[in-house]
Amino acid sequence: MPGPAGHVGASLPRAVAVTLSLVAGAGAFMLFLQFGMSDGLDAIDIARSVLIFISTWWLAWGAVQGLMGLTTQAEPPALPEGPLTAKVAVLVPVYNEDPVTTFSRVAAMDESLQATGLGHLFHIAILSDSRNEAIAARERLWFLRLVGDRAAEGRIFYRRRTDNRGKKAGNVEDFIQKSGGAYDFALILDADSLMEGATIVEMARRMQATPDLGLLQTLPVVTRAGTRFGRAMQFSAAFHSPVFARGLAMMQGRTGPFWGHNAMVRVHAFAESCGLPELRGKPPFGGHVMSHDYVEAALLARAGWRVRLDDDLAGSYEEGPENIVDHAKRDRRWCQGNLQHSRLLLAPGLKPWSRFVFFQGIMAYISPLFWIGFMVASVLAPHFAPPPDYFPEPYWPFPIFPQAETSKAIGLAIGVFGLLILPKFAIALHASMSGRARSFGGAARVFASVFAELLFSSLTAPVLLAWQTRSVFQVFLGRDGGWPTNNRGAATLSLGDAWAASHWIVMTGAVALAGTWAMAPGLVVWMLPVILPMLVAPLLLSWSSRPSRSGLFVTPTDLAEPPVMRRQREILAIWEGEAALPGAPLVGTEPSHASA
Amino acid sequence: MQNTVPLSSAEVERLVQAIGTPVSAPMVMPKQVLEAPHGGLLRGLMLRLHLLASPRQGL
């Protein structure tokens, strides 16, 4: 049994982060209140000040996390001693994925694992939840090909569930209930995950060396993006995310994150702690737990197990959405999953930090509502403002003009903008000084990329915000988004596709512009940065989904392709070539593909 | 390695079952308690603050 869960040095970083972000929020509140008071205080001024407090606090919370990541150093984990003896299952859940691509990743990982000399300790299980019969039939054929190529009979397994109860969490649970007893640890992957064998072995060694470690999460690097949107996201994830993750790691203590994949669990800890019940009622708030990973991390921590993010572990990769529409689809699912966690905020026995993680997830999705509330209230505010009183002193014959407080509003806007950009430029500066920028193409290219990413994210933010807001309303109105298949295929959106996906955003932007013009014309200029991208949303969607030919957004995996990625690319090229041949046999007919 | 071209889909399925089924080593995975028996966020909060009578108190 693990020892009692404590907070290994996490209390101070948490207190600092909470205090700094609250101070920033309070500062914004005071500034805006003074601005609002200039023409007499009314209820809408107070409402706007509260909204700006919440929004600024949330922005500052993210910024503090980034700055904390910059100013701290990962504590090296205890070096594992002795030989690795644990048995590990590598779990690859699939759901209507292209088996050629997915299984080529399995082949590359298996090859990489065997190259470590410890491959005999690892089994790979492909856990299919595919509902499409044609895809399932292809999965079976390509499984035979995979086993043949890798000479992996008895080492690589495939099973398909007859019903996909519980979605991915249920899929993993089903494996653990039937086969978990054969393994000490399980590496949980996604269909698009790719990991170096050496990394997987190192994870198992760390798990073996730390008996109270229930789950070890790596920081997956997004790879192989080809579109403008994908490249910008990939750069941001590779360049900024490790620093933010470091800040998070400082605050997590024993209650670290689980992001659902590229993480290793201790099987008996997971089995005894993470059986997820169906929640009372219907989706979106009831039914199976959608964003199961956060809940499983909380349940492991509740049972006394340590959950840890080791951000020093390299060799962990995933792929991301290539256009804004696919991103929005995935975000719709995450939105529902995170809002469902509101049901679990008071779940019995959870660690306070686990509850806070749920709260953070909910805030991440409802925070746009506060900004929208602030903007709507600002447009309406002139209609609530009392008429100016130039003679407030009864016996004073000269008019007293209200003090102009516009500078405070401008100062606040600069402060909010600063919270958005400061951490990113601080990370760029730090990378230039520490030499980290070299692996991103050099300091000049890094600064240009950071600037371009800021510009790009500023343009796309209102469009993403519109989608996020719609998702939140859909969930609140009880609409279940279901479990759509991830689109990992063609990324380019035609203007027609983009219009079909985003015409409602254009209409919303037009209504917002007309409303602001009619009710508060002085605010039109302030609202344009939000409204203009909404008006041109189809252009943005289509343009950003096209292949990138820019020299910006270079990441380390572009400059030096990791071995497992290279092998997967080679295997996939061979398999795809053969799959494209009409009537070509799939399995075991050519000597070159006989057992390796 | 067997050539799958002459095999029917049922035969492929049987072959996959034979070599693909993971080892059998059952494990119990008990369902965890995530919701208070008298659920509801607001109700749960009020109970914690002793602003509502617990159902047990009525017994």
pLDDT of residue B5: 64
DSSP letter string, A241-304:
HHHHHHHHHHHHTTB----SSSEEEEHHHHHHH-BPPPBSS-TTTSBS-SSHHHHHHHHHHHTT
CB contact under 8 A, A180 and B19: no
Chain B residues inside the 8 Å CB shell of A345: 41
Do the Cβ atoms of A588 and B4 come within 8 Å?
A: yes
**Hey, are the CB atoms on A348 and B28 less than 8 Å from each other?**
no
What was the pLDDT predicted at B57? 41
Blockwise average pLDDT, block size 10, chain B, 59 residues? 70 93 96 76 65 48
Q: Which residues, at least 6 apart from A15, have a Cβ–Cβ distance to it below 8 Å?
A: none
Q: What is the model's pLDDT at position A175? A: 97
**B1–A295 C-beta distance less than 8 A:** no
The structural domains of chain A, with segments of one domain joined by +, span 85-209+562-586
> Does the CB of A590 have a partner CB in chain B at under 8 Å?
no
User: Residue A547's pLDDT is what?
Assistant: 96
> At a CB cut-off of 8 Å and minimum separation 6, what does A351 contact?
A5, A255, A298, A301, A302
Whether B2 has its CB under 8 Å from any CB of chain A: the answer is: yes
User: What is the C-alpha to C-alpha distance for residues A435 and A450, in angstroms, rounded to an integer?
Assistant: 16
Q: Considering only CB atoms, which chain A residues are within 8 Å of B15?
A: 144
- Interface probe for B, chosen from A94, A140, A149, A581 (most Cβ of B below 10 Å), is A140
pLDDT (0 to 100) of residue A322: 95
Distance CA A567, CA A590 (A): 20
A-chain CB neighbours of B13 within 8 Å are 140
Name the residue among B12, B27, B34 with its Cβ closest to that of A344. B34
Q: Does B10 touch chain A (CB under 8 A)?
A: no
What is the CATH T-level fold of the domain A85-209+562-586, as seen in this structure?
Answer: Spore Coat Polysaccharide Biosynthesis Protein SpsA; Chain A (3.90.550)
> Nearest residue on chain B to A89, judged by CA atoms?
B22
For residue A173, the chain B residue with the least C-alpha distance is B29
Q: How many Å apart are CA A543 and CA A545, to the nearest integer?
A: 5
Containing A92, the helix (H) or strand (E) segment is strand A88-94
**How far apart are the C-alpha atoms of A159 and A363, rounded to whole Å?**
38
Please write the tens of the pLDDT for every residue from A394-406: 777 766 666 666 7
Interface of B with A in 25-44 (CB under 8 A): 25-36, 39, 41, 44
Flag residues of chain A having pLDDT under 70: 1-8, 74, 385-392, 398-405, 482-490, 580-596
What is the rounded CA–CA span in Å between residue A590 and residue A568? 20
Between positions 326 and 385 of A, the ones with CB within 8 A of B are 342-348
For B22, the closest of A125, A277, A289 (CB atoms) is A125
The helix, strand and coil proportions of chain A, stated in percent and rounded to the nearest 5, come to: 60, 10, 30
CA closest to A270 among chain B residues: B29
pLDDT at A484: 63
Q: In this predicted structure, what is the pLDDT of residue A103? A: 97
Dist CA A399 CA A129 (whole Å): 76
CB-CB: which of A153, A275, A594 is closest to B31? A275
- How many CB contacts within 8 angstroms connect chain A with chain B? 131
Residue B18 contacts A, CB cutoff 8 Å: no
| Chain A residues lying within 8 Å of B12, measured CB to CB | 137, 140-141, 144
Which pair of structure tokens corresponds to residue A493? 């959106």
